């Protein structure tokens, strides 16, 4: 999938005018890219469109208009665009109550290494988490992790040919399996494997 460049971005003024329509398209797109893993965890699969939106929003919020600042944002967010052999996702642990969230983040230490997808009867593909920096310490994990699922060619081919897709978490304190992954999400994710 092609990375974003400065030529792909709108100026702050252009974005202000086009933001409502663009935001509407992105929100509709994201509906097919969120996979709930039980009631308290979700994978938000990223792609070029979600990252363009994120960059445009950061530039707008921070009022960044200088080349160096724009390039810094592009460098950060381009890392989350799939490379054609993988899926990239933001994994979120979602407990609304602060106390419960803090307790669960301690109990779920290491969960970022136990999130998986599985194509048909192939072995599970566990996420490669937080390649940019550690988001956990020896006491607790973070509520947000960045993940990559790297597909061997035979598994990507099987998915393209209609193989089933399962996703889940296999952690001693949280086991969830979504079988099968909803077809609208599966179809959206196939676009990332090209």
pLDDT tens across the length of the chain (194 residues): 799 999 999 999 999 999 999 999 999 999 999 999 999 999 999 999 999 999 999 999 999 889 899 999 999 899 999 999 999 999 999 999 999 999 999 999 999 999 999 999 999 999 999 877 777 778 899 999 999 999 999 999 999 999 999 999 999 999 999 999 999 999 999 999 98
Q: What's the pLDDT at 132?
A: 75
Cβ atoms of residues 43 and 37 within 8 Å: yes
> Which tokens hold the place of 148?
């990559």
The answer to whether position 26 is within a domain reads yes
Name the pTM for this structure. Answer: 0.91
Q: Which residues of 32-67 are buried (b: 16+ CB within 10 A; e: fewer)?
A: bbebebeebbbbbbbbbbbbbbbbbebbeeeebeee
Number of domains composing the chain = 1
How far apart, in whole angstroms, are the C-alpha atoms of residue 138 and residue 110?
9
The answer to whether position 1 is within a domain reads no
The answer to whether position 76 is within a domain reads yes
Q: What's the pLDDT at 134?
A: 75
Neighbours of 142 (CB within 10 A): 19
The answer to whether position 55 is within a domain reads yes
- Grouping H, G, I as helix, E, B as strand and the rest as coil, residue 175 is strand
The answer to whether position 69 is within a domain reads yes
Range of the domain at 91: 6-190
How far apart, in whole angstroms, are the C-alpha atoms of residue 87 and residue 89?
7
How far apart, in whole angstroms, are the C-alpha atoms of residue 146 and residue 131?
8
* Angle formed by the axes of helices 48-62 and 12-30, nearest 10°: 140
Residues facing 169 on adjacent strands = 115, 176
Enter the DSSP assignment of 144: E
Q: What's the pLDDT at 145?
A: 94
**Nearest CA-CA partner of 26 in 57, 62, 60, 63:** 57
How far apart, in whole angstroms, are the C-alpha atoms of residue 149 and residue 82?
9
């Amino acid at each position: 999938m092609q990375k974003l460049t400065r030529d792909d971005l709108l100026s702050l003024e252009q974005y202000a005018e086009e933001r409502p329509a663009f935001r509407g398209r992105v929100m509709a797109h994201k509906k097919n890219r969120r996979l709930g893993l039980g009631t308290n965890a979700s994978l938000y699969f990223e792609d070029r469109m979600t990252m363009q939106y994120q960059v445009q929003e950061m530039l707008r919020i921070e009022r960044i208009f200088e080349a160096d600042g724009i390039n810094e944002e592009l460098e950060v967010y381009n890392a989350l665009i799939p490379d054609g052999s993988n899926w990239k996702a933001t994994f979120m642990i979602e407990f609304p109550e602060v106390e419960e969230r803090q307790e669960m983040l301690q109990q779920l230490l290491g969960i970022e290494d136990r999130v998986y997808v599985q194509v048909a009867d192939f072995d599970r593909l566990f996420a490669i988490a937080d390649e940019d920096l550690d988001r956990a310490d020896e006491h607790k994990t973070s509520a947000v992790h960045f993940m990559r699922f790297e597909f061997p060619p035979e598994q990507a081919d099987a998915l393209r040919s209609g193989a089933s897709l399962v996703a889940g978490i296999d952690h001693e304190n949280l086991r969830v399996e979504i079988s099968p992954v909803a077809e609208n999400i599966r179809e959206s994710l196939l676009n990332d494997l090209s």
